[in-house]
Chains A and B, each alone.
Chain A
Amino acid sequence: MNLTAFLALVRKDLVLYFSNRRALVMSILAPIVIAAFFGAIFGAGMEKPSRIAIGLADLDASAVSKAVAAAVQADPAFDVRTGDEAAVVALARAGKVRASVVLPPGFGEQARNALVAGADKPVVAVHYDPSQATAMTLVRGLLSQHVMKALGDSLAGAGGAGSPGVTLPAGMTIPAAIAMPRASAFSLPFTTRAVESTASADKPYNGYAHSFAGMGVQFILFMGIEVGVGVLLARRLGLWKRLRAAPISRALLLGSHIASGALTALVLLAIIYAAAIGIFHVRIDGSIAGFVGIAIAFALLTSSFGLLIAAIGKTPEATRGLAIFATLVMVMLGGAWVPSFIFPPWLQTASLVVPTRWAVDGLDAMTWRGLGFDAAIAPIAMLLAFSALFAAIAIWRFDWEEPRG
């Protein structure tokens, strides 16, 4: 191999890229700014989960419904705004609260009768903001807990120490199991203790770690697009002709692009993580060797992706647009924007065929999850496999001859 030519080509690509201020800003500043934004809104620095805003209208005003309302308002998971039915429904519709609960007239009595005598259940309307439907499950669960507790207290009072406002239908007796001491009636038989599942107990979760992994992957892939588009531009400008006229092999020519693209990606990732560590206190709590291995494998993936673009692209303009779209789909499915565990189960499985998923998960594993090198082996292997696949397709599809008239 003509090492002099290879090094000259690699050096040329690096000089051209790093002397392009606009490209540098796009590749370094943009991911840092966006990762900081995502990190801030997705839990970075939060000491406890945020409260869920809900609306509550008590149309019953019975002892039970009042007890439910009081319990809901006292629940640290909720930020409760009360009012009449129209007011709280309007709050949900306006997006001011995630859901509004309406306790209907007769709620307390109907609920008690349903519980002890199998009578019809009252219908509690929960008006929820469809754009924040994930809160619905939580609201329903906590509401059930508070209603059961209030009913239990009510029934315990009726059968024991006496509870104001509680009267049983004629001839009905309270089963012994229900007529229990107030303290334990229908309350949860356990309590929970929240423990962050991070590298260790003394290292709290840093939401910036995931957002920097995601945005780093996204913007470095954008750089990979520029590698491919650069080859297409070189072909258009005639530079490719001059390079091909030189006594160098095709492998050396393509190999130099892979090497320079990978080196550029590696440098960018290092700078982005330097900012993440220095400014946003992201830590590599897992294996440093694993982190470096994943970074190198992802850098190779980036350059082979660029080469693939150069091989299958036609014009630089059209290719850039399509490649950006493909990259955005890849990073979206890879969990770069939101963690992949939010995806439905089928998508979590399907997204395993997307290389970005392995890059993001791998970087997460080596940073905030604090896992060892063994957790890096699969991501590294998969990223290298995808790199080899992309490079093979690129070499297969690369058009070396330019038709002439």
Chain B
Amino acid sequence: MLEARGLCKSYGGRAVVADLSLTVGAGEIVGLLGPNGAGKSTTVAMLCGLVGADRGAVFVGSDASRLALDENAHAAKRRIGVVPQELSIYENLGAAANLELFGALYGMAGALLRERVAAALALVGLADRAGDKPQSFSGGMKRRLNIAAALVHDPDVLIFDEPTVGVDPQSRNAIFDNLESLRERGKALLYTTHYMEEAERLCDRVVIMDHGQVVASDTLAGLYKRLPAVETLELEVDGSVDLDALAHQPGIDRPTQDGTRLRAGVSDLGRTAPALLSWLAANGHAVHRISSGRAELEDVFLSLTGRQLRD
């Protein structure tokens, strides 16, 4: 449905995106993850046709009706819906009037437009607020209207640029339900986010970007397999732990400390946990609490890029 092939973009001689390729199939949600400055926004801008690529191409559609964005911009754009990170709606226009405007931009009019507006509002749970202005909406409702504005022309591909920023948990769950509903309808969804739990809940595949390049692209299961440690230990300890020395202990992977919180990957929980406790006691660190868990996508990201997602 959506394919980016070898995209490159530089600003002032600095490569922001370098040879980026990705695909999103029908009925699939692909997460695009990366820290600030990784090149996600430029990638999204190129996929939407907002910014021209220096090299590479973007294709939309299946084999039979495949369109190159740079050659058939208007036809390709008709198949793409964009949900910008910012609230891109007119606060002083009614909810339905907003959607009618955005539908009209895609050439829709009359009964078809009204039908599509009603369907989009129903999908995001705002059918009963069609005549109200967004300035009277809660933050979550505005976010849902922001999504509906991208759906009104019934695109095959939807690109979400961090659509849940500043949204309360209840509204976030409602948005997730909307996205899952769209996936069930066979839409191709590209989803950029800073939130690992969102990617873990929603995404079938994850593309991890850093310094303008794709450093990993796989299913969640595939990404977890890349980790040297599949379990994590989290301890509350006294004092500053010598992380270099700890990292050389058998079975310990990439220990980190944030205040009293010590975290490390372990390959064999049964053997490594007692050895770690002994090592800490021998080095004068009292342990107040210990817990274990499965490695998370955050650990995958840390393993691949050497930094936290929100660095």
Contact = CB atoms under 8 A, between A and B. Distances in A.
A244 to B, nearest CB: 5
A180 B166 CA distance: 99
Interface string A382-405: 000000000000000000011111
A247 B106 contact: yes
Contacts of B23: none
B88 A242 contact: yes
A241 B90 CA distance: 13
Contacts of B102: 242, 246
Contacts of A236: 86
Contacts of B108: 4
B145 to A, nearest CB: 12
Given A16-B93, A401-B51, A4 B84 contact: no
A244 B80 CA distance: 12
Contacts of A15: 93, 97
Given A237-B88, A402-B45, A404-B45, A242 B107 contact: no
A12 interface: yes
Nearest to A253: B105
Interface string A1-36: 010110111001001100110000000000000000
B214 to A, nearest CB: 17
B84 A238 contact: yes
A247 B80 CA distance: 10
B85 interface: yes
A247 B11 contact: no
Contacts of A402: 45, 50-51
B77 A245 contact: yes
Nearest to B37: A405
Given A12-B101, A245-B50, A248-B74, 12 more contacts: A2-B105, A4-B109, A236-B86, A238-B88, A239-B89, A241-B48, A244-B50, A246-B77, A247-B78, A247-B105, A405-B36, A405-B37
Interface centre among B104, B107, B108 (most CB of A within 10 A): B104
B172 to A, nearest CB: 19
Contacts of B73: 247
A247 B108 CA distance: 12
A405 B104 contact: no
Contact of A245 (B37, B80, B87): B80
Interface in B229-277: none
A244 B150 CA distance: 13
Given A246-B77, A247-B73, A247-B106, A404 B51 contact: yes
B52 interface: yes
Given A5-B104, A405-B37, A239 B109 contact: no
B193 interface: no
Contact of B105 (A5, A16, A20): A5
B25 interface: no
Contacts of A403: 11
Interface residues of A, number: 28
Closest 10 CB pairs of A and B: A238-B86, A8-B104, A247-B74, A404-B42, A246-B105, A238-B84, A247-B77, A242-B88, A238-B88, A245-B82
Contacts of B92: 16, 19-20
Chain B: interface size category: 35 or more
A244 B46 CA distance: 12
A59 interface: no
A248 B105 contact: yes
A243 interface: yes
A20 B90 CA distance: 13
B149 interface: yes
B107 A247 contact: yes
A135 to B, nearest CB: 52
Contacts of B96: none
25 contacts: A4-B109, A15-B93, A15-B97, A20-B92, A237-B88, A238-B84, A238-B85, A238-B86, A239-B88, A239-B89, A241-B45, A241-B50, A242-B88, A242-B102, A242-B149, A242-B150, A244-B50, A245-B48, A245-B49, A247-B105, A248-B105, A403-B11, A404-B45, A405-B41, A405-B42
A401 B52 contact: yes
B53 to A, nearest CB: 11
Contacts of B104: 4-5, 7-8
B16 A404 contact: yes
Nearest to B42: A404
A15 B89 CA distance: 14
Interface in B21-67: 36-37, 39, 41-42, 45, 48-52
Contacts of A8: 100-101, 104-105
A238 B87 contact: yes
Nearest to B78: A247
A23 B101 CA distance: 22
A405 B39 contact: yes
A403 B36 CA distance: 14
B164 to A, nearest CB: 15
Nearest to B74: A247
B75 interface: yes
B28 to A, nearest CB: 21
A242 B84 contact: yes
A244 B52 CA distance: 12
A139 to B, nearest CB: 58
Contacts of A243: 105
B77 A237 contact: no
Contacts of B87: 237-238
A15 B88 CA distance: 17
A242 B37 contact: no
A404 B88 contact: no
Interface string B94-135: 000100111011111100000000000000000000000000
A403 B104 CA distance: 28
Nearest to B47: A245
A5 to B, nearest CB: 5
Nearest to A241: B84
A401 B42 CA distance: 10
Contact of A5 (B16, B80, B89, B107): B107
Contacts of B37: 405
Interface centre among B84, B85, B89, B93 (most CB of A within 10 A): B84
A2 B93 contact: no
Contacts of B109: 4
Interface centre among A5, A12, A246 (most CB of B within 10 A): A246
A4 B50 contact: no
Nearest to A246: B105
A238 B85 CA distance: 8
A131 B108 CA distance: 64
